Amino acid sequence: MMKKKREITLCMGSSCFARGNARTLEVIRTFLKEHDIEAGVFLKGSRCEGLCSKGPVVRVDDAVYTGVSPDGIEEILLREFGEGEDVHD
């Protein structure tokens, strides 16, 4: 049986978006595809997380990551999702 769907929330507010989340979104999309976990992860955007000064902000389930860069997101994704096995059934 499929485990509960994981969720990535990317702040798409103007501050975070302009400071890196536009590119980070593409990196996340590519990661999900390459690890074949697109079906188990719900990717969504938020308008503002209220943490603009600490942005760019990305949430993975309940974990809030601040100061995320397009270069740093892969390390976070690997930590959260490993090679993808924990989101498969």
Binding characters for ligand FES, 53-82, by CB under 6 A (x = yes):
--x-x-------------------------
Is residue 49 close enough to count as binding ligand FES by CB under 6 A? Answer: yes
Is residue 48 close enough to count as binding ligand FES by CB under 6 A? Answer: yes
Q: Quick one: which segment of 12-20, 23-31, 36-44, 75-83 binds ligand FES (CB under 6 A)?
A: 12-20
Torsional sign, CA 15, 27, 59, 2: positive
Least separation in angstroms between residue 12's CB and ligand FES is 8
Least separation in angstroms between residue 84's CB and ligand FES is 27
Strand partners, 10: 45, 58
SS (H, E, C) 25-42: HHHHHHHHHHCCCHHHEE
* Burial of 8 (C-beta count, 10 Å sphere; 0-12/13-18/19+): buried
